[in-house]
A and B are shown apart, each in its own frame.
Chain A
Amino acid sequence: MKLYKKEGNILQILSFPNENAEKGDYLLIEDPDANKALIAQVIDVQFASIPGVLEELLRTLPDGGEPIQGEDIDPLEIAPHITYIQDASLLICKTRATLENDALSPSSSWLPSRSQSTIKKLSVPMLLKLAKVGGNRPIIVGGTKDSSLLTIDATAVDGTLNIVTGKKGCGKSHLSKLLMASLIGYKATVVIFDLNGEYTSIGMSQDGKRNMYYDKIHALTPSQNFKVALDQLHLNVVMGILIHALHLPGTSSREFRRLWKNLKEKGCLTLQEMGEAIRNLNCNQHVRDALSSRYHALVNSGFFTDNPAEATLLDESLLKAKDHGGAIVINLKNTSTIDRQIVVEYVLGKLVDSLQSWTLKATFLFAEEAHLYLRETYWDDIVTRMRHFGIFTTFITNQPDTIRESIYRQADNIFLFNFTNEHDLDVVSRAARVDAETVRSIARDLPPQHCLTLGRVVHDFPIVARVRALDMKTMGETRLFFKNIN
């Protein structure tokens, strides 16, 4: 390989066919005189502009049809050299750091010698070692192209905002399960908004037996094993549900607040008593109607109960998870949009309460397709206020434009799977920790199950890895009509 050009932080390197450099590979450009080296990543591979190639190709197809038949008597065996030159490629590389005295610096302001520099591939383990990626709590994401493991440190996802995105069926849920399982392995508390009910069985291995996570998975299905009694709720949580999920107007909210306090003082905070109180409420007819319709929405959700025995406390699951680590899976499958919002409002409100009171130290929240249940104002809350309380969110989506730009800007880590749509790539490339060229070029060609890891976990050295398999019942596969039909 030979250094050809440098423009800004883009390097062009001439590579010959036997050198096998591919997109995503790292190269070390060592300048022996300067006694330092540039670390660059290949973001695109193009044909080198070799003069005469067009003529070479044209004469093999003289009639525009089949190639002309013939015999080449080439006693000096020049033909392999012609092919060698013809197949030379130009590697478009992005400089990532400078290596000087075994220390990395993000600077790329110097110019290595074109004639004296030597260029060689930098293996991922070597890069990770130089970048000091890894730590005491390793999470093995998967295997890299050079058969090494991409291992990140769990502390690098602690206190961070993460995004897992890619088009359908490329392995996003699989990776989020891997991250989740690894975190609970380190005794972390994880809460998952499971839109498709695919996390509920992760305590089982693929052969149907219990796996090591079995006791740590607490699957809660609203209106089945996940119900709450009104007297377990804080007023602010209920108000959150009414205002944000059920859009209760301001006047009616004030009336409800009064009503709630009355019932609480009387010690009869039940659905039945509340229904009665609303019916007998002496107020404007419109206010009563508004309260009545919201009350019926709460009752019809099936999420609320007057039977204390039925009410499984989220607190209990959180406490269990707190001591030994665990995942609380909120199964939102078969839940209507309104009910979903009620449940999410409740869970987030409860989490904030627990974190504020230090009942819970911190929690990792995994939110799949969050735009389907997260209210507008929560987006900013999650990246600012809730993060300070200790809710560290990972958004998982196949529609990157449903996540707000402010989320991308503040995302610490992005796990990017394949996207072919330019618009999707544009959206993701707005993230502050990545450069648009890298995202556009590498993500477009990622094979299924391969993920481009960007951000803090890899110390801003984007690395492609094939996500490792998990021995758990993932249930993330789409149900198919034609499967197993001969």
Chain B
Amino acid sequence: MKPNHQETTVAAVDTSTIKIGETSTGIIIAVRGATTRKQNHNYKYTRLGPYIFHITEDNKNEVYNTLEKSYFNTLYSSNRHSTPHLMQMPTRLASLLERWLQTMLAKTVENGLILFDGSLTSGTIDTPVQRMKDILNLARRNKSTVLAFSKMTSLRVNGYLITDQLPKHEPPYLLETTGVQFKPPTVVLGGVYVARLNKANYAFRLDIDREIPLQNRMAAIEKLLGNDLHMQGYPETLRLSHILCTFTANEVLAIKHFITRKHGIQIINRPDMHKLLFGPFGKGEIS
């Protein structure tokens, strides 16, 4: 691949969620999303949130459905997955926000590159196929290309992770994968590649909208190489989105302060049963 320095907007989106604590009836979670754009050699971000939810068994469906309806006007998942588990609610709500932010970028970025965190896999609980298709269609209509970078992948070839089998070729380069099979109902809406964007010894799974012709896919990667920084082979725009939306311990304290002060909600410190029962051998709850 050769970097193409033709001025192109690079936009990225990421969301983050965290469990703030437990109450006597449920959990308190916070969700935040960030989009970052690189335009005219400058990075600019928009950060939404944190949005704080007190989720209980009684309100979880109402919260989820209300948000889904207000974000997308449609309830793609209302029949199939109407009762998400309480503990899954943080990721489900973050995912909802992420898809909405992706939709907004797809609607507003023209002739640009839109970077997603993760893959273009759909048909999962929180990403109905139609919703992902709609996002990709919107992007295509605005002549933008969606590139989804996965930090981790479980795809293997001959027993090895696809990102570990790197040829001795001067980066930047893309490796195309063929014949990758996914279990239904999971559908991958992108071509799956391994991208090594600079000399750093890191490669990532990269999904590129399958509906885009091969030549245009390559052109999009070359524009990305020419328009964004790549620290450790990862696009800076996406890295910034991730950094900006991640919750720090300080923010968690501040959120706890807010909910106690503003709403008088008491967070319960439940004992860690692992530590309680097994002492130094208890590793704590894995969340």
Contact = CB atoms under 8 A, between A and B. Distances in A.
B62 to A, nearest CB: 19
Nearest to B252: A52
Nearest to B47: A72
Q: Which bracket fits the contact residues of B? A: 20 to 34
Contacts of A53: 248, 250
B274 interface: no
Interface in A78-120: 78, 81-82, 84-86
B31 to A, nearest CB: 11
A56 B240 CA distance: 13
B250 A50 contact: yes
Contacts of B124: none
B46 A78 contact: no
A81 B255 contact: yes
Contact of A69 (B43, B49, B253, B255): B43
B226 interface: no
A76 B250 contact: no
A86 B250 contact: yes
B10 interface: no
B25 to A, nearest CB: 20
B47 A70 contact: yes
Interface in B32-57: 36, 42-52
Interface centre among A50, A72, A86 (most CB of B within 10 A): A72
Contacts, number: 80
Interface in B83-118: none
A56 B251 contact: yes
A375 interface: no
Contact of A62 (B48, B51, B243): B243
B72 interface: no
A85 B49 contact: no
A81 B258 CA distance: 6
Contacts of B42: 69
Interface in A157-197: none
A51 interface: yes
A76 B50 contact: yes
B248 to A, nearest CB: 3
B286 interface: no
B44 A69 contact: yes
Interface string A45-83: 000001111011001001000001111111110100110
Given A56-B248, A68-B240, A78 B255 contact: yes
A75 B51 contact: yes
B275 interface: no
Contacts of A85: 250, 253-254, 257
B147 interface: no
Contacts of B132: none
Interface string B170-195: 00000000000000000000000000
Nearest to A88: B253
B277 interface: no
A62 B43 CA distance: 10
A76 B52 contact: yes
B254 A73 contact: no
B129 to A, nearest CB: 30
B45 A73 contact: no
B47 A56 contact: no
B47 A73 contact: yes
A78 B32 CA distance: 12
Interface of B: 36, 42-52, 240, 243-244, 246, 248-255, 257-258, 261
Given A50-B253, A55-B249, A78-B251, 7 more contacts: A52-B248, A56-B250, A62-B43, A70-B36, A70-B46, A73-B48, A81-B258
10 contacts: A51-B248, A68-B43, A68-B240, A71-B44, A73-B46, A74-B47, A76-B50, A78-B258, A85-B254, A86-B254
